Chain A
């Protein structure tokens, strides 16, 4: 192909240059030839003119006339002589008179004829002509007179006629030489012109010869080019015919021009069948034919194609036997002898597509499995959190002031262990996020010394139980102001310490923090004097679900994930985790982390587990909670801090209570039978009751980020994750009301949520929440996001499309509509389509109340909102996903 390419690229410029030169040369030649022909024509005309002149001169006739003049005079003399000799014959006199008249006429001609003007100008002519005129005028009276007078004068007439004869003769002789000379001049002129014509003709012939040679050379060059073209063509034909891909060439009218061997194999038509037939009727599946023809017409009209020159496009093609199969198509456009032609390369990709489909199915199954796992984890976390909520909440209710120091310490230990357990549950939930690199880290300033003390305190009882001593080496004061995620760090250290305790009997476990390299590389070490780990196992202990040996596995926390999670957490926090060990000589686990606070980090906050001051004033709280234990715990916590609590047991009750009077804050459970918390919150926000602007706090065990966003979308201001603790409750209330009741998003979602109540108050909120959407795009791989988005859009499209039909049915299935709307609201919320999600939730509620008229209105509202949402998504570069089902 390389030589072919070079040949083709080198050829055209030379041809252009050649044609330009030849054009100039040809033009010049044409000009010269035209000039020569013009000159020759002019000369020929000149010759013709000269010849005409020669003719017109009537030289011969004139000379005859001149010569004849003498003859006429002699005839007069003879007639005169005859009359003298026969004086009695009157007829002879008559004859003399006639002859005189003839001479008279001749003399007249000599003196007057135009043709003789030049001759008459010759020297001596005047005298001769005068003589003739005198003769004529002298004799006219006698000739016209009576015979008697004429007869005696005859001899004199004869003699005078002789004088005239001589004069006329001399005149004739001069005339001969004069006209000969004039003729000579003309002839010389003619011969000069003729020789000019000759020269011109020779030049013309010469130029024609040169042109002929040029034409011959041109012809030879053409022949050479034709041969080259022929060779190129043969080579191309070989390439086409041996191509593994089907090569089909069509013209503008869709007629097949070329059909190679591969095309025969791929489509089943022989070359003889295909060439000349309409391509679309051969290989384009019937349902694509109108589209194909439109595309051809559009291309012919606008020159813009969706396939031409766009690289490889995957399409469906039709085999002779009617089967449809996928092909890769690459279409190019070229210039043929009769206008544009299209060259299509096609490859049967049935096998590849099949393989892809199998792969996709496998992936879908895997993804579904992953999803099931995630769902399982979510359910489990909920199931575990509810009893934990009870434990921890009840602990908070213990009258700690009335206990002695020891019991207070015990209670604190119980509570802290419960919290650790809760964090384990959260960690299990986080495993998938960790693996996906989406572990939410909450880095902040904290007191590492306190954290280490807390760990020592919490683990000392367990250590003592195994005869171990737990030590904290005095840490550097610098560590009071460390910066990292304390929860994650606690998780790591607890894991390491509890491991050390488990594998040590009657030994010594030391926790220390080394800041010798500065806060940006703090090394935390857990050293034990226990069993140690064999060298060959040392590398494997951090692997997932690896049990080094039965004893290690059994004695570990049981998940087989502890060290793996710890190591990953360390990496996620920007550090590393390692171990050193000698069997029988104990182990050393170390974590090296950067802990220097960034310049703009907020000042240290009070750790989450420290008791929180109650809000400065007593509040009117509406508590909506269906779970009796939770309700009771929360009520007591609130009342102990002096707040007035109104208790309701489900969403409807909550809604009713909210309609009666204004509260300072509403705590709203999410999962409730009947009217759920989100709907209730949305209805409070949407209504005109006294609590339209009252802060609403969602209480839920579902702490997944997308759910948090959904809560905000319906106008809830904060999320309080169950189990509710006094500390978290106080903090929430303080933060919210400490700002004068103005609702603000919490720091965790500072970048994620908008102020929903404000957003709802706005006339035209954006269809896609920008920050929310950005977060989603950061969290999800792009192709995954697109697939999800396309799926979601498809489902919403389908829902909206079927809605009118479903509502028009004699017995609308409100239940399933409600469920579907609920599901779609969640989906839309995920992508930050918050208005859409809100409308869908309204719909869900309306469907449950079976309000058909409202549903119809809401359906139209939904369709409009969805169009706008799609437009917004298209602007954000997801046109393909949202338009896929249009």
Chain B
């Protein structure tokens, strides 16, 4: 089920990236499993007032690899995913708070400054494998914890939401 999910997502990401290249054409519809639904004050939509993304659409936005320890895992972990800032730009988001909600309804607000700083990563792959719900996927918002002590503080631990499902942009 996850594999299918991922396949759809990947396809979707390609579309999104193309679409993004020509922003006027709008956001394409996801073809695979929907990994992320974005609502609120966004410039692009493909499902009514919302924007939905499969893995492909997300991966097409451009990825980055972050290698870091986390307190929830053993040993250094290699994460690959879409930088939150890249993602926000793709959606034409200029400002606002990001309210992120997980599969288990865990919810946290991420301030715009975290977006601006461009450290936050919407990780899709861990150690070369796409993440599933069983290992905190399909999307895990992580920070480079090893790079800066402040990321090892309670605040950033709380913002590091896993099994991310929905994002609501509030101005």
Contacts and interface: CB of A to CB of B under 8 A. Distances in A.
Nearest to A136: B134
B163 A102 contact: yes
A58 interface: yes
Interface string B42-84: 0000000000000000000000000001111110000000000
28 contacts: A52-B149, A52-B153, A55-B152, A56-B149, A56-B152, A56-B153, A58-B71, A58-B157, A61-B157, A61-B158, A62-B71, A65-B72, A68-B104, A71-B104, A98-B103, A98-B133, A102-B104, A104-B134, A105-B162, A108-B134, A109-B72, A112-B72, A112-B74, A113-B74, A114-B70, A114-B71, A114-B74, A115-B71
A849 interface: no
Please name the 7 residue pairs, one residue from A and one from B, whose CB atoms are nearest each other, closest first: A101-B133, A115-B71, A104-B134, A55-B153, A58-B157, A61-B157, A113-B72
Most buried by A among B1, B104, B136, B163: B104
Contacts of A104: 133-134
A113 B73 contact: yes
A109 B72 CA distance: 6
B135 interface: yes
Most buried by A among B153, B154, B162: B154
Nearest to A55: B153
B161 to A, nearest CB: 11
A785 interface: no
Nearest to A65: B72
B134 A114 contact: no
Contacts of A55: 152-154
Most buried by B among A52, A97, A105, A115: A105
Interface residues of B, number: 23
Contact of A60 (B71, B136, B154, B163): B154
A114 B152 contact: no
A102 B163 CA distance: 8
Most buried by A among B72, B132, B152: B72
B74 A105 contact: no
Interface in B100-139: 103-104, 106, 132-136
A198 B149 CA distance: 27
A280 B65 CA distance: 87
Prevailing SS type, chain B contact patch: loop
Prevailing SS type, chain A contact patch: helix
A72 interface: yes
Contact of B72 (A72, A97, A102, A115): A115
Contacts of B163: 102, 105
B132 A101 contact: yes
A803 interface: no
A75 interface: yes
Interface in A859-875: none
A102 B162 CA distance: 10
B144 to A, nearest CB: 15
A75 B133 CA distance: 15
Given A56-B152, A68-B104, A105 B71 contact: no
Given A101-B134, A108-B135, 5 more contacts: A56-B149, A98-B133, A105-B136, A109-B136, A114-B71
Contact of A61 (B133, B135, B154): B154
Nearest to B2: A101
Contacts of B106: 68
A73 to B, nearest CB: 11
Contact of A114 (B73, B136, B149, B158): B73
A102 B158 contact: no
A740 B74 CA distance: 138
Contact of A75 (B73, B104, B149, B158): B104
A699 to B, nearest CB: 128
Interface string B1-19: 1000000000000000000
Contacts of B74: 112-114
Contacts of A72: 104
A276 B158 CA distance: 79
A52 B149 CA distance: 8
Contacts of A102: 103-104, 133, 163
A112 B70 CA distance: 11
Contact of A113 (B71, B133, B152): B71
Nearest to B70: A114
Given A55-B152, A58-B154, A102-B104, A114 B133 contact: no
A32 to B, nearest CB: 33
B134 A105 contact: yes
Contacts of B136: 105, 109
A75 B152 CA distance: 30
